Amino acid sequence: MTKIKTFPLGGIHPNKYKITTDSPITFAGLPETVYIPVKQHIGAPAKILVKPGDKVKVGTLLADADGIVSADVHSSVSGEVLKVEAIEGEFGYVEDMITIKVEGNEFEPSIDRSLDIDREIPYTDEEIIAKIREAGIVGMGGAGYPTPVKTSIPEGKKVDTLILNGIECEPFLTADDRLMVEKGEQIVIGAKILNKILGIQNAIIAIDENKPKAIEVLSKITKTYVGVNVQVCATKYPQGGEKQLITAITGREVPSGKLPADAGCLVQNVGTVFAIYEAVMKNKPLFERVVTVSGDACSHPANYLVRIGTPASYLLEKAGGITPQTAQVVFGGPMMGTSAFNINAPITKITSGLLLLSDKISAKHHEEDCIRCGKCAEACPMGLQPFLIGRLMRANQIDEVKNCHVLDCIECGCCAYICPAHIPLLDYCKLAKIELKKKK
């Protein structure tokens, strides 16, 4: 095996809690109603095409991408559209959602539902990009950036490396891990598809050390495919951060304020690549995804294949319900996820995990004085000095913060995790960003 790679600056080693590593992906079933938000991505909300009373099938287009940075939204169930209106989302803010009452499980006829693996790619580059666009695929790692925009490389830039992000460095989450173990070959074919449209033969699947099964499965499969290789990375948070991964794999750095393409790289989450495979080879729009339901307060943690729009409460019920020791429900991972305000909010294309955390893990401690230990600066993967940003923001010195490169912060939370004085350093970094943007 080749050398284990990692990024040079900072990083932390939180407790992994990967309790669902060996739990196979199971279908979560169909809830009574689904709520499908029309904005599950970065960019403009999609234009709604349906009205109450319409009958839809699985895969029916519900809303059309509005502009280039936007994504199509498809129905994830068959049934009747009940309402098209603003409903409270996971943060408690209202978002436009399409409510569908589930009746049966009927698919659009164009979707190929067979389980065979199609290995030949008979389409041209344009056809492939059109299929990805029509499937409404967005980055499923968490950011939700529309994939067609990401894969179309700006004029004058050259991408020579495609990196498949199978790191999943967030504690608890195992959705990508299981997907790689169970759908390894499809992911590799997905990588070939991306290789084709990029015109390169250099796809690297990055997996971190603590996923021996996925490494084994994919190493075996990639032997028979040209141009797709596995690279093992060290288990360190935030190894799965786009910039950190690029530096780990290629040794290049993405210049401040620029795109990965400026470093000659394209990074795609393995979940996204699997969706690309399904969209291109099976004509399947993105209407379901793998979600890890876990947490130290969860009684039956598992990995579920979930239809987009399924209320979180339905999934939580399947995993044993909200136990008395639950203090927080978190959408996403414990490091970068958000506390849920409303647990009836739907699972979206970017929800990779649903965590029930007890006070033992999630309770915040009282903020003390900085002892200048420098651990935050040591842990910051971007080489920033969070203690300085925190000190300046406490004094409201926004002009000074400008020189701290705070806009480069990737909000990974290493600083706030490591701080022995429990200073909410990440909050101060976010505040600094808010204030700097206000000034502009």
Partner 1 sequence: MDDTVLLSVLALGGIAIVSAIVLYLVSRKFAIAEDVKIVEIDALLPQANCGGCGKAGCHDFAQACAFVDEKGFAGLYCPVGGQQVMDQIAALRGFAKVEKKPTAAVLRCNGTCQNAPLKVSYDHITSCRIAARISSGQTGCPTGCLRLGDCIKVCKFGALSMNKETGIPIIDHNKCTSCGACVRMCPRGLFEIRPKTENGEMLYVACRNTQKGAIARKNCKAACIACQKCTKVNAEVKVENNLSYIPDTVSAEEFGKALREACPTGAIIYTKEEKNND
Partner 2 sequence: MLKISTAPHMQTNQDTKSLMRDVVIALLPAALVGVLFFGINALLVILTSVAACAGFEYLFNRYCFHKENTVTDFSAIVTGLLLAYNLPSSIPLWMVLVGAFMAVVVGKLCYGGLGKNIFNPALVGRVFLFISFPVQMTSWPKPEFLKFLDMDAQTGATTLGILKHIDGQTSATYINAKLPSYFDMFIGNIGGCIGEVSALALLLGLAYMLWRRVITWHIPFYYIGTVFAITGLMWLITGDVRYDPLTHILSGGLMLGAIFMATDYTTSPMSKKGQILFAVCCGILTVIIRLYSAYPEGVSFAILIMNAFVPLIDKYMQPRVYGQRR
Closer to partner 1 by Cβ: residue 252 or 433:
433
Tell me the CA distances in angstroms from 33 to 98, 136, 240, 312, one per residue in order. Answer: 10, 21, 34, 12
Taking the C-alpha atoms of residue 54 and residue 264, their distance in angstroms, rounded to an integer, is: 46
- Report the site for partner 1 in 397-436 (rule: CB under 8 A): 424, 427, 430-431, 434
Spell out, one character per residue from 314 to 353, where the chain touches partner 1: x when CB under 8 A holds, - when not: -------------xx---------xx-x------------
Q: Does 216 bind partner 2 (CB under 8 A)?
A: no
88 binds, among partner 2, partner 1, none (CB under 5 to 8 A by kind): partner 1
Each residue 163-182 as x (binds partner 2 by CB under 8 A) or -, in order, gives: --------x-----------
Interface stretch with partner 2, choices 108-116, 155-163, 180-188, 375-383 (CB under 8 A): 375-383
Residues forming beta bridges with residue 162, ordered by sequence position: 203, 266
Cβ of residue 92: shortest distance to partner 1, in angstroms? 3
Determine the distance from the C-alpha atom of residue 155 to the mean position of all C-alpha atoms in its chain, rounded to a whole number. 27
Binding window for partner 1 (CB under 8 A); candidates: 104-112, 132-140, 241-249, 360-368: 360-368
**Contacts with partner 1 in 89-128 (CB under 8 A)?**
91-94
From the list partner 2, partner 1, none, pick the one residue 418 interacts with, judged by a Cβ distance below 5 to 8 Å according to partner type. partner 2
As a whole number of angstroms, the distance between CA 267 and CA 165 comes to: 7
Q: Kindly report the number of other CB atoms within 10 A of residue 63's CB atom.
A: 25
Q: How far is the CB of 350 from partner 2 (least distance, A)?
A: 15
Q: According to the binding rule CB under 8 A, does residue 367 interact with partner 1?
A: yes
CA–CA dist 260, 371 (Å, integer): 36
How many angstroms separate the CA atoms of 195 and 305, rounded?
Answer: 27
Cα separation, 213 vs 209, in Å, equals: 10
| 251 part of the interface to partner 2, by CB under 8 A | no
**Residue 372 interface partner, choices partner 2, partner 1, none, CB cut-off 5-8 Å depending on type:** partner 2
User: Per rule CB under 8 A, is residue 255 in the interface with partner 2?
Assistant: yes
Strand, coil or helix: 117: coil
Which of 111, 130, 377, 398 contacts partner 2 by CB under 8 A?
Answer: 377
Residue 291 near residue 347, CB atoms below 8 Å: yes
Name which of 259 and 322 has its Cβ closer to partner 1. Answer: 322
Residue 340: CB minimum distance to partner 2, A: 7
Closest CA to 413 of 429, 398, 432: 429
Note whether 411 binds partner 2 by CB under 8 A: yes
Characterize 398-417 residue by residue with b for buried, 16 or more Cβ atoms within 10 angstroms of its Cβ, and e for exposed.
beebeebebeebbebbbbbb
Residues 353-372 that bind partner 2 (CB under 8 A): 355, 357, 361-362, 364-365, 368-372
Residue 388: how many CB atoms within 10 A of its CB? 18
Residue for token digits 């506390």?
Answer: 339
**Nearest CB to partner 2, comparing residues 137 and 426:** 426
User: 371 or 395: whose CB is closer to partner 2?
Assistant: 371
Question: Does 339 sit near partner 2 (CB under 8 A)?
Answer: yes
* Among residues 32, 93, 374, 395, the one that binds partner 2 under rule CB under 8 A: 374
Q: Provide the phi-psi class of 372: left if phi over 0, else alpha when psi is between -120 and 50, else beta.
A: left
- By the 10 Å C-beta count (0-12 exposed, 13-18 middle, 19+ buried), 122 is classed as exposed
**Residue from 71, 78, 70, 75 nearest 98 by CA:** 75
| Residue 431 near residue 396 (C-beta atoms within 8 A) | no
Nearer to partner 1, 3 or 366 (CB): 366
Is 78 a binder of partner 1 (CB under 8 A)?
no
The answer to whether residue 239 forms part of the interface with partner 2 (CB under 8 A) is no
Opening angle at CA 324, ends 319 and 326, nearest 5: 70
> In 164-287, where does DSSP find H-type helix?
175-182, 184-198, 212-222, 242-250, 270-282
- Residues forming contacts to partner 1 in the complex (CB under 8 A) are 88, 91-94, 327-328, 338-339, 341, 362-367, 396, 424, 427, 430-431, 434, 438
* Interface residues toward partner 2, by CB under 8 A: 9, 14-15, 171, 243, 247, 253-258, 326-330, 334-341, 343, 355, 357, 361-362, 364-365, 368-374, 377-378, 380-385, 387, 405, 408, 411, 413, 416-422, 424, 426-427, 430
